[in-house]
Structure 1
Amino acid sequence: MIVRPGEPGGVERVHHDPLELAAELPLSADEAAYVEAARAPNTLRGYRSDWAEFTAWCDRRDRPALPAAGDTISLYLTELARHGAKVGTMSRRLSSIKFAHQLRDLPDPTTGARVVAVWEGIRRTHGAPPDQAAPLMFPELDDVLANCAQTRVWKTRPPEPDLAGLRDRALLLVGFCGALRRSELAALTVEQITEHRRGLVLALPRSKTNQRGEEPELVVLPYANRRSRCPVTALRAWLDAGEIASGPVLRKVSRGNRVLDRALHPESINDLVHAATMRAELVGGPYSAHSLRAGFVTYGHLRGASDRAIAHQTRHRSLATLGAYVRIETAWEDNAATQLGL
């Protein structure tokens, strides 16, 4: 509901969900569905959260959020920066505000001279490299895998293979060897897996860099020389034990050691990787699901793989992006500081 100025309540109140704004437009059901499909689900969740935060801020200051004035945006950014918000967070908030206005055919309030000047100053003053997850790779990954549970022991029934442990091993090895994002791991289905004489091929219909899905992205999972490090072996063991023949690959496991039909949420995958590293008592974190992808890039570089070969698997469009993953490791290579003899 929207309360117009002059009506009881005085201040214009807006929806706290930017997608609800589309419902006020003369759209057919099919058109509305396509509007929602125009953005990835994770992006839409972020827009919803950011828009709710912005409109709540506007309500507290008796300022209209839709349409938002330039001084409202600049004041909002200034307050966020003063309270320590990261530049990346503020950038996402601006995108959410822009999206909400676009849905109502309103001018973009984030492009005015006042907002641009304040935003440039904030980025120059508070800009910093984004926090990076520590790479998770061998031999540390061996310790993490070894600490995944293998057997469930019961008082009233015989011991069973620990399904959560099998799932976590598959998650870790597929995530590392496939250099997959947590959203890709969560969305992976059995139907996307194809057998190959050298291992398995994953056909990902969509990804962060392929949101329209014109052509699936191919990711290979080769057989490993060591069984304990083989993503193909770990994945097949999980699918066989869980009796998973179709649908989501990575699923929840009940406390009773039963595989459920529900796929893991991307955030759950993050939590599982973090928990696995905690069990192994690894130092040097923080570790997250992204540590698997970062670990693949770093480990591949240390093993002599070219940037182009690494990007073939990670599907990075820019080779320069890979540098952020390996900068710390390569800083020691051929560096005179290590040859001073001090």
Structure 2
Amino acid sequence: MRLLDDVPLTEDEAQYVDAARAANTVRGYRSDWREFTSWCGHHGHQPLPAAPAAITGYLTELAQAGAKVGTMSRRISALKFAHQLRNLPDPTGHARVVAVWEGIRRTHGAPVEQSTPLMPPDLFDVLDACPTTKTWKTPGRPAEPDLAGTRDRALLLVGFVAALRRSELAALAVEDIDDHPNGLVLTLPRSKTNQTGEETELVVLPRAANRDRCPVTALQQWLSLAGIVQGPVFRGVGKNNRASTTALNPGSINALVQAAITRAGLDATTYSAHSLRAGFVTYAHLRGASDRAIAHQTRHRSLATLGTYVRVQQAWTDNAATQLGL
């Protein structure tokens, strides 16, 4: 996908084209495009330019196979992107595609599956289950502070209190952390809602009265024990109990959160890294924080968006059904 017209892109131009979409988005588009071209090959269709009938046939087959609407929506975006890079008309805007797609959404649409929020008291149990001491089978080798456990505590507390997405946790660098009399301030050059970096976003990490539950203390302990003074904050930890030089990727952060939850004896099936952000929103709401105050930390641009975080716990709050006296 290197041609936007009849003139090949220069190397520098190609790099900017690659930067036009987030890396995860591009990887997803490539996977979707491979699947669509494979489908076209099996059904005798030309993938590029794609005929509207090919797209509707593809979407219909996906819908009847039980594909989620969100998944199909991304496939449509990938097809649109592929044609855009070839400077071809967008076939996904054709009346036939629009009509079939609207019908699929009305027939198969369902609420977006949400991660279970991770918040106190379960969060405290997960923190307490993080290992603190690393012992060795080698005779005579003294025990050490468990670096992976120290990292996991910092990851959980920072992710929860700062309400960060897993991509933001993966991208966080030491250079993005500033001291403040009340704790720390994190500067996020990029985010899901600020992909071009035109508006620097700030989140705060206040000190907690309980040192064992303080995100500032946990983060500083991790950086100190790992010897990290610059570059990525959250990194892998080897079997030698030493930190790597490269950042964790978002997928690894998701796996670490689920592993930490499992370690505490909880079923991690419905949890993910997003459970930290969802947990912050839910817990802050239950503690009486206003939507505006919550959005100040989560950086939601629309207060209405916070409504997507409504959870089972909130459904019982100030609900007239509980006051009927039946």
- One fold, TM greater than 0.5? yes
Q: Give structure 1 stretches of 5+ with no counterpart.
A: 1-18
Conserved 8 A contact 2:150-2:222 = yes
Conserved 8 A contact 1:134-1:285 = no
Equivalent residue runs for 1:189-204 within 5 Å? 189-204=173-188
Equivalent residue runs for 1:326-337 within 5 Å? 326-337=310-321
Conserved 8 A contact 1:301-1:326 = no
SS in 1 for 2:204: strand
Which of 151, 154, 172 matches 1:170? 154
Q: How far apart, CA to CA, are the structure 2 residues paired with 1:70 and 1:43?
A: 24
Aligned to 1:91: 73
Which string of whole-angstrom CA distances, capped at 9 and with x for unpartnered residues, describes residues 227-268 of structure 1?
A: 111100000000000000011100010011111112111001
Deviation for aligned residue 1:222: 0.6
Name the stretch that deviates more: 276-285 or 101-110.
276-285
Name the stretch that deviates more: 289-298 or 155-164.
155-164
Q: How far apart, CA to CA, are the structure 1 residues paired with 2:320 and 2:202?
A: 41
Deviation for aligned residue 1:139: 1.2
From the superposition, tell whether residues 89 and 65 of structure 1 become closer, same or farther in structure 2 (CA, over 3 Å): same
Aligned to 1:253: 237
Q: How far apart, CA to CA, are the structure 1 residues paired with 2:64 and 2:3?
A: 31
Aligned to 1:11: none
Name the stretch that deviates more: 40-49 or 101-110.
40-49
Q: Give structure 2 stretches of 5+ with no counterpart.
A: none
Q: How far apart, CA to CA, are the structure 2 residues paired with 1:93 and 1:49?
A: 9
SS in 2 for 1:60: helix
Alignment partner of 1:56 is 2:38: yes
Equivalent residue runs for 1:25-174 within 5 Å? 25-156=7-138, 157-174=141-158
Conserved 8 A contact 1:21-1:100 = no
Aligned to 2:210: 226
Q: How far apart, CA to CA, are the structure 2 residues paired with 1:25 and 1:267?
A: 37
Alignment partner of 1:317 is 2:301: yes
* Matching residue's letter, 1:91: S
Conserved 8 A contact 1:147-1:276 = yes
* Matching residue's letter, 1:198: N
Q: How far apart, CA to CA, are the structure 2 residues paired with 1:39 and 1:155?
A: 47
* Matching residue's letter, 1:64: Q
Which string of whole-angstrom CA distances, capped at 9 and with x for unpartnered residues, describes residues 84-127 of structure 1?
A: 00000000000000000000110001011110010000000000
Which of 263, 266, 269 matches 2:253? 269
Deviation for aligned residue 1:285: 5.3
SS in 1 for 2:219: helix
Q: How far apart, CA to CA, are the structure 2 residues paired with 1:241 and 1:331?
A: 43
Q: How far apart, CA to CA, are the structure 1 residues paired with 2:231 and 2:5?
A: 32
Alignment partner of 1:240 is 2:224: yes
Aligned to 2:292: 308
Percent identity reads 70
Aligned to 1:9: none
Alignment partner of 1:182 is 2:166: yes
Q: CA RMSD in A?
A: 1.4
Conserved 8 A contact 2:147-2:226 = yes
Conserved 8 A contact 1:110-1:116 = yes
TM-score (norm 1): 0.92
Deviation for aligned residue 1:340: 3.4
Conserved 8 A contact 2:166-2:273 = yes
Q: How far apart, CA to CA, are the structure 1 residues paired with 2:31 and 2:212?
A: 41
How many residues matched? 324
TM-score (norm 2): 0.96
SS in 1 for 2:93: coil
Aligned to 1:280: 264
Q: How far apart, CA to CA, are the structure 2 residues paired with 1:21 and 1:56?
A: 22
* Matching residue's letter, 1:249: V
Conserved 8 A contact 2:5-2:86 = no
SS in 1 for 2:92: coil
